[in-house]
Structure 1
Amino acid sequence: MAALFLSLCVCLALALSNAAPAHHDVMMKDAPELHDAKPDRCKGIEFDAITPDEKGNTFFFKGDHLWKGFSGSAELSSSIFKELDDYHDLGHVDAAFRMHQQDDASVHDHVYFFLDDKVFSFYNYTLEKGYPVEIQKEFPGIPSHLDAAVECPKGECMTDSVLFFKGNETYTYDIKTETVKKKMWTHLPNCTSAFRWLEHYYCFHGHNFTRFHPISGEVTGTYPKDARRYFMKCDGGFGHGGGARRLRCSDVKLHAVTTDDKGKSYAFHDEMYLRLDTHRDGSHHFNISKSWKEISGGVDAVFSYGDKMYIIQGGQVYIYKSAVHYTLIEGYPKPLKEELGIDGPVDAAFLCPNQHTVFIIQGQKMCEVDLAATPRVVKKEMPIPFPKIDAGFCDADGVKVFIGPEYYSYASPMILAMSRIRPQPQKISPEKFACED
């Protein structure tokens, strides 16, 4: 009897050893570096999922660990998203995305996690009531065991959508109609994670990434690129954004500030620009030529009028059509005198909302130019109470003129021109301009 029992135990052990490994075991086999207590993404890691949260923090997932932001060490995923382990023996998150703005306020900014055939919805790091549910129930037509997912708002996709990836198959899920279009993007690497960042789309594979178009999957430019050079801070020649260090707020000197007709706000300084309206994606500096490829070096002034952005550099003006990305209008740049009836260079230019008069500042003089007139000429000149300013901006709150790391606020351009006493200066803040205090 003892021999029979021993024989049965041996058979059972052999059967178990030949069985398919569990989710967590497969992950550990494919990623042996995770045997360490804390994985190091600077050594080169293939991420399982990447997603921002509702506060603009970006999370990078690998195995049962995550990184919060572009720097810092790994920590257990369950230390922040606690309920994940309550419902699953967490090996790794298959995919994740943050829901972009929707008409249904109840799903604004929710973060969705996909594990095997289940989906979890979190808000403020707390699992929403009723979750997890089966993927098919929440997203009909979307398969289980996904590789990646990313949100795609209307204007960047045809409709408010989510892109799901499995192998070389891409599923475009229409949020409103709950319909799915399946595509085969065989030219794109198999994405183990996907990320939408500042209106660009990135497929991560190995320790590299490839940027792609969310509708066609088209890849333009030289890819793949090493993620460590762009999406994290690492030593040894790597670095987030090329390793550029943020300026101290006391060293900031803006050259232009503007908001286009799509609500995108920009601050320009030296050869760099910063998006001011993308706090949900973090604050980051880029070379001006990244978005306006015909511009080399810094700019003197920038303003927006209708669906166009005017960039003034020296005695020339470049006019770009604003859309998802900027396109230089044929025939430009042109001489500033020909376009606006004024000789360059200029110190600043701004346009107030729903107006067609641009105010151009040169030294202690502010000129008015009617953009609706033909030809465009200076129709009025007024003195201002500053010998020289760096940048000017006008919005619903009034006019701001920037001088070094400070700015002065006025209720209107006319009050700026009539004022003989300067208001109390205000400091450029880290929250607004992504500088260091």
Structure 2
Amino acid sequence: MHGPTAALCLAWALALGCAHPLTHEKPGAVGVGPPHGAEPPSNDTELLELCGDESGLDAATLSANGTMLLFRGERVWERSRGGAHSRPLAASWPELGGPVEAALRLHRRQHPQEHDSLYLFQGEQVWAYAGGQLRDGFPRRVGDEFPGVPGGVDAAVECHPEECRGESVLFFKGDTVYSFDLELRVTKQRSWPGLGPCTAALRWLERYYCLQGTSFQRFDPVTGEVPPGYPRDIRDYFIPCPGRGHGHRGPGNESRAAAGNRCSGLPFDAFSSDDTGRVYAFRGGQYFRLDSGRDGWHAWPLGHAWPELQGEVDAAFAWDKKMYLIQGSQVSIYLSDQGYKRVEGYPRALHDELGVTSVDAAFTCPHSEKLYVISGNSIQLVDLMQTPRRAEVAVPLPHAQVDSALCTNDGVFLFHGPNYHKYESVAELTGASQPAPPRNISTDFFQCPQ
């Protein structure tokens, strides 16, 4: 199982009966977290203390199962879809004997000794843990384990080769960044004055973040550049603080909060999957990414993944390593390789690009150049290889209205309101006289309570 089909298995296990969960980690990775309903309960008093402390975090990284670890003082917080829970550092790492100054997890499947090791930094020393056990020979001097990197680093984050032109680690100390090449075992110093000191650093959903106190900035791991819209408050994004979150701020906060609540039952504006297997659900100017259980529980602003994009997405589909995002009478195209970059000259008029004037939903099926456009209660075919593109004669659908649509190796899915309808193929959809039985989006996609 691969591509969009595999990517949907975790979120749709209840409805589709997939044989195994998908984590969207590299092959062989451990699952995405505790079983649904099995998360340890949050301690509300400790969480309020964490949210009220303006000093921020000491370090941040991911656990072996992909959940976020947040270090502060003598405790570590672990985020899960049930909220967050904390435990003393000594409960997991008794050898430390004090707070952590930086944290790092390496994912190097070709190097079994280092693979999935958790590195915790204190002053001149670094501890490395594998499978919860301290590795032989540790603690070591930071400079012995990472030649050229000084002790007393403020933050560290692994830099994946597909995003950083090589397998490396970024270490932050004051205003200086030390880039350590994991293959060559050499260090280069960098100066990124626009980024500023980082007290913690984190890679999350192929994006890199520098945390300082209660603020954070996203940055390019190659150039250090920070996109517009930063800094932001970590308590609105990374810490599940009661009454906070980016949906709670500014005018219209109630509607944004509802749109960002996966279990609200509100309709979704669009669904799509891309060539890399990432699966997205769009609603209210925000998106959920469903191929990873780490992300399917939290909504993000569109600009987080697709720079320059604002407003709401009416329809979305992927083809030829590009993502097409339709807003009203315009369409924007983003290259899918190494993060999304908008193609120069876009947005363009929908009619000029696709040969249609209106779109309620759109989808392409895997390894096909055929685009299906739904408007009202009819569907049209557009050959994406054709120039200029034009729509064929419309065919009636057994649905009076559709909000969004998606096609994977498992079939075709039409969404309307809080429900979706599954068809084995486009032929079954267009040949149906009645809608397929409705199924609940929140329950099956997001594992919300019925």
TM-score range for the pair, normalised by the shorter chain length = 0.7 to 0.9
2:367 aligned with 1:354: yes
Of 144, 149, 154, which aligns to 1:147? 154
CA separation of 1:251 and 1:123: change in aligned 2, threshold 3 A: farther
User: Which string of whole-angstrom CA distances, capped at 9 and with x for unpartnered residues, describes residues 342-391 of structure 1?
Assistant: 221x2210001111010111222111110001121123533222121111
CA distance in 2, matches of 1:312, 1:211: 26
Alignment RMSD (CA, Å) = 3.0
Matches within 5 A, 1:53-68: 53-68=63-78
Unaligned runs of 5+ residues in structure 1 are 1-35
Larger Rg: 1
Unaligned runs of 5+ residues in structure 2 are 1-45, 249-256
2:373 aligned with 1:363: no
SS of corresponding position for 1:420: coil
CA contact (8 A) 1:320 1:329 kept: yes
Of 168, 175, 181, which aligns to 1:174? 181
CA distance in 1, matches of 2:162, 2:178: 18
Of 45, 49, 65, which aligns to 2:55? 45
Deviation of 1:331 (Å) = 3.1
Alignment-derived partner of residue 212 in structure 2 = 205
2:267 aligned with 1:260: no
Deviation of 1:282 (Å) = 6.2
CA distance in 1, matches of 2:227, 2:315: 30
CA separation of 1:282 and 1:176: change in aligned 2, threshold 3 A: farther
Alignment-derived partner of residue 25 in structure 1 = none
SS of corresponding position for 1:69: strand
SS of corresponding position for 1:228: helix
CA separation of 1:123 and 1:42: change in aligned 2, threshold 3 A: farther
The TM-score normalised by the length of structure 2 is 0.77
CA distance in 1, matches of 2:98, 2:85: 19
CA distance in 1, matches of 2:412, 2:60: 39
Of 228, 234, 242, which aligns to 2:235? 228
2:381 aligned with 1:376: no
Alignment-derived partner of residue 308 in structure 1 = 322
CA contact (8 A) 1:121 1:131 kept: no
CA distance in 1, matches of 2:362, 2:386: 18
CA distance in 1, matches of 2:301, 2:449: 19
Q: How many residues align?
A: 393
CA distance in 1, matches of 2:194, 2:286: 33
2:405 aligned with 1:392: yes
Alignment-derived partner of residue 239 in structure 1 = 244
Query: What amino acid is aligned across from residue 239 of structure 1 in structure 2?
Result: R
CA distance in 2, matches of 1:102, 1:282: 25
CA separation of 1:72 and 1:300: change in aligned 2, threshold 3 A: closer
Identify the range of structure 1 (269-278 vs 301-310) with the bigger mean alpha-carbon deviation: 269-278
Query: What amino acid is aligned across from residue 317 of structure 2 in structure 1?
Result: F
Alignment-derived partner of residue 24 in structure 1 = none
Alignment-derived partner of residue 14 in structure 2 = none
CA distance in 2, matches of 1:379, 1:104: 53
CA separation of 1:205 and 1:298: change in aligned 2, threshold 3 A: closer
Alignment-derived partner of residue 346 in structure 2 = 332
Of 69, 79, 85, which aligns to 2:79? 69
CA separation of 1:326 and 1:93: change in aligned 2, threshold 3 A: same
Does 1 or 2 have the higher relative contact order (CA < 8 Å, sep 6+)?
Answer: 2
CA contact (8 A) 1:50 1:58 kept: yes
2:256 aligned with 1:251: no
CA contact (8 A) 2:376 2:400 kept: yes
CA contact (8 A) 1:54 1:109 kept: yes
CA distance in 2, matches of 1:105, 1:252: 45
Identify the range of structure 1 (271-280 vs 320-329) with the bigger mean alpha-carbon deviation: 320-329
CA separation of 1:123 and 1:168: change in aligned 2, threshold 3 A: same
